[in-house]
Amino acid sequence: MEWPGDKKFAFTIFDDTDNSTVKNVSPIYNLLLENNLKTTKSVWVYPPNDNQFSGDCLLDENYLDFVRNLNGNGFEIALHNVGSGNFKRDDIVQGIELFEKLLGFYPNIQVNHAGNRDNIYFGAKRFLPPFSSLYKLYRYIKGGISFEGEVETSKYFWGDIVKEKIKYIRNFTFNGINTLKYDPAMPYIDPQKEEYSNYWFSSSDGHTVEEFNNLIKKENVDKLAKEGGACIVYTHFASGFVNENGEINLEFKNKLNYLASKNGWFVPVSKLLDYLLQNKEKSSRASYFYLFKLNLLWLIDRLLKKIKYNR
């Protein structure tokens, strides 16, 4: 892949909004801005209505100002469902319109959140057989959850809104830094999910500061540049990147500074995906065999992560 401006590689970040507040993530975005790294931050429209997660939302004036300033500085704002918990169709439709009213645009990206029943093509429906059966068994042991965002008869249905308003949805996450090496066809159309989705993409695992630091260590960044690849890190900036005193994890700061010193194309997720889509030489429709390969690679990487991090 040839990158704009004779850049050697592409790099961006998707920040999952779980537990995020202005206090615990703003130092990270200041650092990103200082290094001219433009990335993507997801938000909730409503406050959490469950007991599993916390975090600010767009109804909070201070947080809304923070998000607007980020967007004005070139950061992309995406959606992580309208909130944490189960939201019915009317609330979701109103939430999407409120997102547009408050920010001036609809989100380009949706990433499903944890156990929300309104998730789109989530749970076992993410996978092909036999991987879907393995996942069903896993969920049966852990406690079953039904995901119904694309089920027309469900009170949690909003698949038509996703199809109309949202261009990209994330699915698989891998351990390696070169996301494009795992998923060279992204963004792709999944024929089994085409009715209520548009394009799907993958990401690289930077779940917490520990995984993120391991992902962007010097040898990995150098390898990414040598391969001319693209990395979309999926992370949670509220997970250990900033301590209670507002200080950024020093290892992360040093590694990010090194990354920023390289000749990379640092743009938000949608801009990177749009570029990949525009420069495709083949059809965007993923074949069964291609999706099977992604399923298998994902399973292998999840098992390796379990062994390494026990999570």
- pLDDT over threshold 80, residue 143: no
* pLDDT tens profile 196-233: 999 999 999 999 999 999 999 999 999 999 999 999 99
- pLDDT over threshold 90, residue 282: no
The two structure tokens encoding residue 113 = 């959140």
Q: 3: which residues sit within 8 A by CB, 6+ positions away?
A: 9, 10, 228, 265
141 or 183, higher pLDDT: 183
In this prediction, residues 36-52 reach a mean pLDDT of 97
Closest CA to 14 of 206, 180, 248, 276: 206
Tell me the backbone φ, ψ of residue 285, rounded to 5 degrees.
Answer: -80, 120
When pLDDT is cut at 50, 70 and 90, the band that residue 309 belongs to is confident
Percent of the chain with pLDDT over 90: 93
How far is residue 152's CA from residue 59's CA, in Å, rounded to a whole number? 29
Length of the chain: 311
- pLDDT over threshold 80, residue 144: no
* pLDDT tens profile 171-186: 999 999 999 999 999 9
How far is residue 91's CA from residue 76's CA, in Å, rounded to a whole number? 23
CATH hierarchy code of domain 4-113+165-309: 3.20.20.370
**For position 178, what pLDDT does the model report?**
98
According to DSSP, the residues that pair with 183 across neighbouring strands are: none
306 or 140, higher pLDDT: 306
**For position 283, what pLDDT does the model report?**
87
**For position 139, what pLDDT does the model report?**
78
The two structure tokens encoding residue 74 = 């070139």
Beta strand residue intervals within the chain, DSSP E: 9-15, 40-43, 76-79, 109-110, 168-174, 199-206, 230-235, 264-266
Closest CA to 198 of 173, 171, 179: 171
Q: Domain-by-domain residue ranges, the chain?
A: 4-113+165-309
* pLDDT tens profile 62-120: 999 999 999 999 999 999 999 999 999 999 999 999 999 999 999 999 999 999 999 99
Report, in this order, helix, strand and coil percent for the chain, each rounded to 5.
Answer: 45, 15, 40
**For position 183, what pLDDT does the model report?**
98
CB distance 27 to 242 below 8 Å: yes
* pLDDT tens profile 145-170: 899 999 999 999 999 999 999 999 99
Q: Indicate the average pLDDT of the chain.
A: 96
**For position 228, what pLDDT does the model report?**
98
**For position 155, what pLDDT does the model report?**
98
Q: Taking the CA of residue 186 as centre, how many other CA atoms within 13 Å lie in the half-sphere pointing to its CB?
A: 27
CB distance 167 to 198 below 8 Å: yes
- pLDDT over threshold 90, residue 311: no
When pLDDT is cut at 50, 70 and 90, the band that residue 255 belongs to is very high
When pLDDT is cut at 50, 70 and 90, the band that residue 5 belongs to is very high
In this prediction, residues 283-295 reach a mean pLDDT of 97
How far is residue 67's CA from residue 63's CA, in Å, rounded to a whole number? 6
CB distance 191 to 286 below 8 Å: yes
Task: Write the CA distances from 227 to 6, 37, 50, 181, 230, integer angstroms.
Answer: 14, 20, 43, 9, 9
